[in-house]
Amino acid sequence: GFVYKSFSADRGRSWSTPSMVVTLPNPDSRVALLKLSNGLVALAFNDHQRPIAVLGAASGEGENATKAAEAPTRERYRLTVALSADGEGWHRVGIVDPPAGSSEGGEQEPTAGFQQPQFQYPVLLERAGSLLVGYTWAVLSKSADEADMDSGAMGAEGYELRLAEFDLAALLAGFEEVRARAERLRQQAELRRAAAEAAKAAEAAKA
């Protein structure tokens, strides 16, 4: 799944038709949105597609082969904070409690199996120069073989309410850096496009 966006110009009385934000994958889990005092919009969301569990194993060969059964799970990890100036373009600036061994951006997937910490139901609050992210932390307790294929439901244990604090100035600095990098890439792509069009026009003129 993906995060969807909708806008209101009349203080929430009516809304535009929701549309998919293809740069924000999401496993159909809750997200949190907050307009900051500086005008930017903060988003907390699980930054990944809904994982698929392989139940059992494939067997047989050729026409008699049987594929392994698959079912979507409700795993929710990589709880990420992103900022936007207009609600259209989003830049990732932080990740809540990245898994051990992950890259700085939290790109590494959790290891196989379901005994993984889950980060879900985020809420956002701006306070005294900080962005606070409250969330539920839990560990899935069923193995893949015990998953309910009809509902994708997984048992959980060790529920905790947790709070992460981000320095807002550091997030904003990261936001400006990422946005500047994106603008440089856009300009480079535009220059390449213009150069390609000029070369094509020159070839056409020779012909």
pLDDT above 50 for 146: no
Of residues 120, 95, 98, 87, the one with CA closest to residue 171: 95
How sure is the predictor about 103, in pLDDT bands with cuts at 50, 70 and 90? Answer: very low
Q: Name which of 60-64, 81-85, 105-109 the model is least confident about.
A: 105-109
pLDDT of residue 165: 94
- Mean pLDDT, residues 54-63 taken together: 54
Residue 130: pLDDT above 70?
A: yes
Structure tokens at 7: 């806008």
H or E segment to which residue 175 belongs: helix 168-206
Give yes or no for residue 192 having a pLDDT over 90.
yes
Task: State the pLDDT confidence band at 74, using cuts at 50, 70 and 90.
Answer: low
Structural domain boundaries enclosing 185: 2-206
At 4-46, the pLDDT tens digits run 989 999 988 999 999 998 889 888 889 999 999 999 999 999 9
* Averaged pLDDT for residues 76-82: 89
Residue 86 CA to residue 117 CA, distance in Å, equals: 32
Mean confidence (pLDDT) of the chain: 78
DSSP labels, 176-206: HHHHHHHHHHHHHHHHHHHHHHHHHHHHHHH
Q: Residue range 55-59: average pLDDT?
A: 52
What is the residue type of 22? V
Answer whether residue 186 shows pLDDT above 60.
yes
What pLDDT is attached to residue 76?
80
pTM: 0.69
Tell me how many domains the chain contains: 1
The answer to whether 117 and 139 have CB atoms below 8 angstroms apart is yes
Per the listing, tokens 């409690």 go with 97
Contact 99, 122 (CB under 8 A): no
